[in-house]
A = this chain, B = another copy of it.
């Protein structure tokens, strides 16, 4: 089954388009997982604590939201032991019924890109299917031939990808706004082309776009350029964007009345809610649950009001 359709089914089921980013930043982990930052411990033990935290977060959010997005970098920082935990976290999230988007932002020449596609999305024999993500984030800097191997694997496996179009950070303006029309628009047009053969029954393609929620004013023009592209919107919460900033990225609701066309990501705002004064006195799980409920409610209200 097409990735875009599977994703929409998950959104229909939960009724919201919230995506929780699994960014286990060592310094911010709750006290229960302090072993992860204890440099005196063996690396495998530290990685295990990092994985434990993510698995517990998954248990908290499963059934409430359609998808999670583990960020590879925080696992890779603990070497192969960390990568082993990344695999465990992906498997745990899939078992819990969540769509998994591996945030890896890879991008390389075709023969190398093919190896990355196999690493994260499969499409070859001998991979551990339960450890493969449903979709992956990609950097477009190397051009069409660097994306093609992923399109091929997506077609064969029913998986998806999200290409960086305009990122949420300040520095995104340095190169992504270069030229006229700006580079991001060129990439957006390419994303439409790359995704044209992967449009599912939901009317959306399995080739998505990462567009920072921090660029609220521009979201509408990106949406206009990419009418059938699922958006992944980072930047909500800790990075400064709110529910009203992301409304323009959504398409008309699905038949079941659920949001369609975008996922809104929050990482630190959900995972590390226990550090915020407004959640003082709560356990980290209760804080995470409360922060997620607030996000679901805020997004629902903003989408309902349009």
Write the A63-79 contact mask toward B (1 if CB under 8 angstroms, else 0): 00000000101101111
The stretch among A165-173, A244-252, A297-305 that forms the contact with chain B is A165-173
Chain B contacts for A143, CB-based, 8 A: 167, 169-176
A83 at the interface (CB under 8 A from B): yes
Chain B contacts for A173, CB-based, 8 A: 143
Question: In chain A, residues 81-132, which have Cβ atoms closer than 8 Å to a Cβ of chain B?
Answer: 81-84, 86-87, 105-113, 115-116, 118-119, 124-128, 131
A256 at the interface (CB under 8 A from B): no
Task: Tell me, rounded to whole Å, the shortest Cβ–Cβ distance linking A157 to chain B.
Answer: 15
Closest residue on chain B to residue A73 by CB atoms = B115
The stretch among A12-20, A182-190, A278-286 that forms the contact with chain B is A182-190
Task: Tell me, rounded to whole Å, the shortest Cβ–Cβ distance linking A86 to chain B.
Answer: 8
Question: For the side of the interface on A, what is the size category?
Answer: 35 or more
Task: Tell me, rounded to whole Å, the shortest Cβ–Cβ distance linking A283 to chain B.
Answer: 25
Task: Tell me, rounded to whole Å, the shortest Cβ–Cβ distance linking A130 to chain B.
Answer: 11
Task: Tell me, rounded to whole Å, the shortest Cβ–Cβ distance linking A50 to chain B.
Answer: 11
Which residue of the partner chain, among B43, B83, B115, B128, contacts A43 with CB atoms under 8 Å?
A: B128
Residues of chain A touching chain B, judged by Cβ–Cβ distance below 8 Å, are 23, 25, 39, 43, 46, 71, 73-74, 76-84, 86-87, 105-113, 115-116, 118-119, 124-128, 131, 139-146, 164, 167-176, 178-180, 183, 186-187, 190, 234
